[in-house]
């Protein structure tokens, strides 16, 4: 009986020791957007947040031209859940990415304007990301436009 109890206690301690540590609440948001120039290879670097990625795939998704990044800037912000929101002038969409194992993986593509945005900018409006383009203001989440397109 003592052996059974000792075995049970040892097993319980082993299971508790292997459980995942969770630190919460956590807020991953950036207070303001980053406007990042795209270099000749299609890369953007955000030194403040130690982020670097290549935009060629994103421009191919948007324009079917992986070299369309020439002379452009990426607009980028991160929400409180850790999702990255990206767009640029002339984009029709806002792209939502999540960091995973050394990659940025597309989680959503939010259609904003069929003709392309003229001068998009992001603001942090917790729990939303506010997108402003001219007179249009939209609250975005990683799921889409809060309350639908206005």
How many residues does this entry show for the chain? 150
Per-residue pLDDT band for 106 (boundaries 50, 70, 90) equals very high
Average pLDDT over residues 37-45: 96
Average pLDDT over residues 81-110: 97
Q: What is the pLDDT of residue 81?
A: 95
Average pLDDT over residues 59-71: 94
* Torsion (CA) 53, 121, 39, 109 in degrees, nearest 10: 40
Q: What is the pLDDT of residue 45?
A: 96
Q: Is the pLDDT of residue 6 over 80?
A: no
Structure-model confidence comparison of residues 77 and 147, the more confident one = 77
pTM: 0.84
Q: What is the pLDDT of residue 15?
A: 62
Here the tokens at position 133 are: 């383009």
3-state SS of the chain is CHHHHHHHHHHHHHHHHCCCCCCCCCCCCCCECEEEECCCCCEEEECCCCEEEECHHHHHHHHCCCCCCCCCEEEEEECCCCEEEEECCCCCEEEEEEEECCEEEEEEEEECCCCCCCCCEEEEECCEEEEEECCEEEEEECCEECCCCC
Average pLDDT over residues 9-17: 62
Q: What is the pLDDT of residue 129?
A: 97
């Amino acid at each position: 009986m003592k052996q059974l109890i000792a075995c049970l206690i040892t097993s319980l301690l082993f299971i508790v020791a292997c459980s995942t540590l969770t630190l919460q609440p956590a807020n991953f948001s950036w207070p303001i957007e980053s406007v990042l120039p795209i270099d000749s290879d299609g890369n953007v670097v955000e030194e403040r947040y130690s982020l670097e990625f290549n935009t060629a795939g994103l421009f191919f998704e948007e324009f079917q031209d992986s070299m369309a990044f020439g002379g452009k800037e990426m607009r980028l912000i991160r929400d409180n859940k850790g999702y990255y929101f990206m767009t640029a002038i002339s984009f029709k969409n806002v792209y939502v990415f999540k960091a995973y194992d050394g990659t940025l993986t597309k989680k959503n593509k939010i259609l904003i304007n069929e003709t392309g945005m003229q001068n998009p900018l992001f603001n942090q409006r917790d729990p939303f990301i506010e997108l402003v383009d001219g007179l249009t203001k939209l609250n975005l989440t990683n799921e889409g436009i809060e309350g639908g397109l206005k």
